A and B are shown apart, each in its own frame.
Chain A
Amino acid sequence: MAFWIIQTLNGLSFSMLLFLIAAGFTLIFGLMKIINIAHGSFYLLSAYIGLTILRTTDSFLLAVVTSSVAAFVVGVAMQSLFLRRFYMKELQQVLLTFGFVLIIADLCLWVWGGNPMALPKPSLFRGSIWIGNVVFPSYRLLVILVGVIIAVGLWIFQEKTKFGAIVRAGVDDEEMLRGSGINIQRVFAGVFGLGALLAGIGGIIGGPIVGVFPGADLSMLLLALVVVIIGGIGSLKGAFVGSLFVGLVDNFGKALFPELSMFTLFAPMAIVLAIRPTGIFGKMEE
């Protein structure tokens, strides 16, 4: 019994981390149809910046704020200085984001070296908590809590605020939105920044669990891709359900069938694609 509780909680904390990354990816794709290959690079950059701040100041909150703001700034710059010029030219946009993958990965390698590193946990959450008769690290519970709070926050943002309504309108009919006098470039930059911010929070929150290492960018991108394909691209609900699914399957797969764990990602994705090509919550293509 203890095994199932611990593995479920482990899986859930990983799911919430995946949600932070996949939610940004899906928001960006939903509005702008950009496949942002550099999405994992925001994770990488933010985790490394957080590491440096934690080493010098030991303040986790400061690290979260600084590194996610850094990711936001880089994201806004990428959209408004580069990607903006290639609106609806998907191929050019994808290749451009890949250029940024190379640049950010090599800069990080230059500054922080090639050894895998783990971020220290915030001092309040270094211990463990008893749940019934099971001991569980409190930091992972914090990750679950943060993930749920951000998911609810995003839902409120998208459904209840004016900016959220603008974004939803842009997803449905971007031309109409332009016609009604909205500065679409500002909306695009804002959403791209928000996506980068979410991945950045993922980097600093996930750093103590997953760690940060060269290649973490593409590993995180892969997980985000699987999540959005299973959940349905462009849908926050899909990203949430997909994250729960992938996080739990991946975790139990590793624990129960370690030699098959490579295929625990591929098999569900292939099955979803075969049965419902647009994912569980994806809209049918027009």
Chain B
Amino acid sequence: MRTITSLKGTSFSILLLAALIIVFLPFLVSSYYVGLAIQVFIFTIFAMSLDILVGHTGLPSMGHAAYFGVAAYATGFLCLAGIKNFWVGVILGMGSGGLTAALFGLLAIRAHGPYFMLITLALSQVLWGIAFKWRSLTKGDDGLPGIGRPEIGMGIDLKPDLYFYYFTFAIFLIVLVALFVLLNSPFGYTLRGIRESESRMKALGYNVGLYKYLAFVFAGVFAGTSGVLWVYYCGFVNPSNLGVDQSVKGLLMLILGGSGSFFGPGIGAGIIVLLENIVSGLTERWSLILGIIYVIVIMFFSEGLSSIVKRGH
């Protein structure tokens, strides 16, 4: 049975090494890579939030970008209305992500397997359609530009990428700890029980529907957090942040890194962010190349990179 690894031995030393590299990274590489690292943090949060559903509860959500995008749009509107305080933004973002998930969860959670995938996909694509067509509010496909970095007071200026890097890292750590506690609590064990056998958990007297629903809402809240960070980082949000492209990207990260594991989402997010940036820097036809890469990844690596390492042993 796959569970979250307890942090002992090698895992702990890997973590320590990773923390050291992260802290000193801005002094080792150029600012371009600092930007990439920020993106990796943000998408790791996104992938981890999706993994609550996919890896831990066994719910293959196809519409996870909805909560990321709703939070990004909500924070974007707030910012363009002149309210730049980070704490207001992040509470609004997490709240709107969670509320959207609470609404969609009511409609989707009763369905199973491919039906669940279909419904989550449809719900998120409807949001995409609204953002795409409601030009007076969302500027449609052009997206909302000019969303600045937030203010957090305390004399810290988040405009330079360097400071925003450490800021994102701090938020990332908070989310990491929160998720670690959540998924290693009795609640987390119940979710994995549901993943292994829903009927058995029902027979044991667990309110399976309620647990699944709560996991769905939690996942939405954390996805919202990543959406807020994203819009503050790149200052821009457009309908593709809500749509199937982004949802699929999250799933690919989990497939590549291995879902239901502690390091998986981070590894997957790192690979996908790097790939996207490298490919889009090389050629104008990056979307075509990415499509081909996606197909290759699924055809040959769909059991996750970690499975290849295991096969090697």
Tell which of A92, A106, A226 touches B302, judged by Cβ atoms closer than 8 Å: A92
Chain A residues near B293: list those with CB within 8 A.
99
Q: Please determine whether B287 and A102 come into contact, CB atoms closer than 8 angstroms.
A: yes
Chain B residues near A91: list those with CB within 8 A.
54, 60, 117, 251, 255
B176 interfacial contact with A, CB 8 Å? no
Chain B residues near A100: list those with CB within 8 A.
291, 295
Tell me which residues from 244 to 278 in chain A have a Cβ below 8 Å from any Cβ of chain B: 261-263, 265-266, 269-270, 273-274, 277-278
| A-contact 0/1 string along B99-126, CB 8 Å cutoff | 0000000111011111101110111011
Q: Please determine whether B114 and A33 come into contact, CB atoms closer than 8 angstroms.
A: yes
Q: Please determine whether A29 and B118 come into contact, CB atoms closer than 8 angstroms.
A: yes
Minimum CB–CB distance from B123 to chain A (whole Å) comes to 8
In which size bucket is the chain A interface? 35 or more
Tell me which residues from 62 to 120 in chain A have a Cβ below 8 Å from any Cβ of chain B: 82, 85-86, 89-92, 94-96, 98-103, 105-107, 109-110
Q: Please determine whether A96 and B126 come into contact, CB atoms closer than 8 angstroms.
A: no
Q: Mark the stretch among A126-134, A167-175, A214-222 that contacts chain B.
A: A214-222
Tell me which residues from 111 to 155 in chain B have a Cβ below 8 Å from any Cβ of chain A: 111-115, 117-119, 121-123, 125-126, 128-130, 132-134, 141
CB contact under 8 A between A277 and B110, given known A94-B117, A98-B294, A225-B125: yes
Q: Please determine whether B129 and A106 come into contact, CB atoms closer than 8 angstroms.
A: no
Q: Report the count of interface residues on B (CB-CB < 8 A).
A: 46
Minimum CB–CB distance from A265 to chain B (whole Å) comes to 6
Minimum CB–CB distance from A76 to chain B (whole Å) comes to 17
Q: Please determine whether A99 and B294 come into contact, CB atoms closer than 8 angstroms.
A: yes
A114 to B216 Cα, complex, angstroms? 38
A199 interfacial contact with B, CB 8 Å? no
A103 to B286 Cα, complex, angstroms? 10
- Please, which residue of chain A has its CB at the minimum distance from the CB of B252? A95
Q: Please determine whether B302 and A86 come into contact, CB atoms closer than 8 angstroms.
A: yes
User: Which of A95, A96, A261, A277 has the most chain B CB atoms inside 10 A of its CB?
Assistant: A95
- Please, which residue of chain A has its CB at the minimum distance from the CB of B131? A262
Tell which of B106, B129, B295 touches A103, judged by Cβ atoms closer than 8 Å: B295
Minimum CB–CB distance from A38 to chain B (whole Å) comes to 10
Chain B residues near A285: list those with CB within 8 A.
111-112, 115
Q: Please determine whether A37 and B244 come into contact, CB atoms closer than 8 angstroms.
A: yes
Minimum CB–CB distance from B82 to chain A (whole Å) comes to 26
Q: Please determine whether A277 and B118 come into contact, CB atoms closer than 8 angstroms.
A: no
User: Which of A33, A109, A222 has the most chain B CB atoms inside 10 A of its CB?
Assistant: A222
| A-contact 0/1 string along B45-81, CB 8 Å cutoff | 0000000001000001010000000000000000000
B290 interfacial contact with A, CB 8 Å? yes
Tell which of A85, A102, A218, A225 touches B294, judged by Cβ atoms closer than 8 Å: A102
Chain A residues near B108: list those with CB within 8 A.
273
Chain B residues near A261: list those with CB within 8 A.
133
Minimum CB–CB distance from B61 to chain A (whole Å) comes to 10
Q: Please determine whether B114 and A35 come into contact, CB atoms closer than 8 angstroms.
A: yes
A233 interfacial contact with B, CB 8 Å? yes
A103 to B289 Cα, complex, angstroms? 8
Residues on A facing B (Cβ under 8 Å): 29, 33, 35, 37, 82, 85-86, 89-92, 94-96, 98-103, 105-107, 109-110, 215, 218-219, 221-222, 225-226, 228-229, 233, 261-263, 265-266, 269-270, 273-274, 277-278, 285
Residues on B facing A (Cβ under 8 Å): 54, 60, 62, 106-108, 110-115, 117-119, 121-123, 125-126, 128-130, 132-134, 141, 243-245, 248, 251-252, 255, 285, 287-288, 290-295, 298-299, 302
Please name 4 further chain A to chain B contacts, defined as beta carbons within 8 Å, in addition to the given A89-B302, A225-B122, A263-B130, sorted by A numbering.
A90-B114, A102-B294, A215-B132, A233-B118
In the complex, 27 of the A-B residue pairs with CB atoms within 8 angstroms, ordered by the A residue number, are A29-B118, A33-B114, A35-B114, A35-B118, A82-B295, A82-B299, A89-B302, A90-B113, A90-B117, A92-B298, A95-B294, A96-B294, A96-B295, A98-B244, A99-B294, A102-B290, A103-B288, A103-B292, A105-B287, A106-B291, A219-B129, A222-B129, A229-B118, A265-B126, A273-B108, A277-B111, A277-B115
